[in-house]
Amino acid sequence: MPSCNALLLRYDTGDDDNGLDSIYKMLTGPLGFMPDNVTVLAYNWNGTEGPTADRFKRNFLDLLNRAEPGDVVFVYTDVHGTQESDDTSGEDDGQDEGWIMAYEGNEDGSVTREIVYDDWVANTISTVGCFTFR
């Protein structure tokens, strides 16, 4: 039987995030996703882990690797995008795009930005399983 799996990501969240709550309730309510099949990476949201680049990559790969034909895979990202000059990006504009995530490895315990580049996302999707996008 097909399953429904989701990864929800929110970076730079304040104490309240009604948008993330609404998406989660929509998925686990009328759309029928099982709560155990919805992974949330966000600061200050029901005790979930923060959205570091490593956590996103690990959970994204897990989501794709678990998917079987007929499954529904839902990914929601509410993060800042960025462009960085990169002559090796292979893109006509010489810019590499990405999503800003968190990095928690600083010795003082602070959080800094880390980027997951669009090339990583595209290459990961193209090499893991077969998908039909709708």
CATH number attached to the domain at 4-127: 3.40.50.1460
Spans in the chain with pLDDT lower than 50: none
Q: Using CA atoms, how far apart are residues 95 and 39, in angstroms rounded to an integer?
A: 31
Tell me what pLDDT residue 127 has. 83
16 CB-near residues (< 8 Å, 6+ apart): none
- DSSP annotation of 16: -
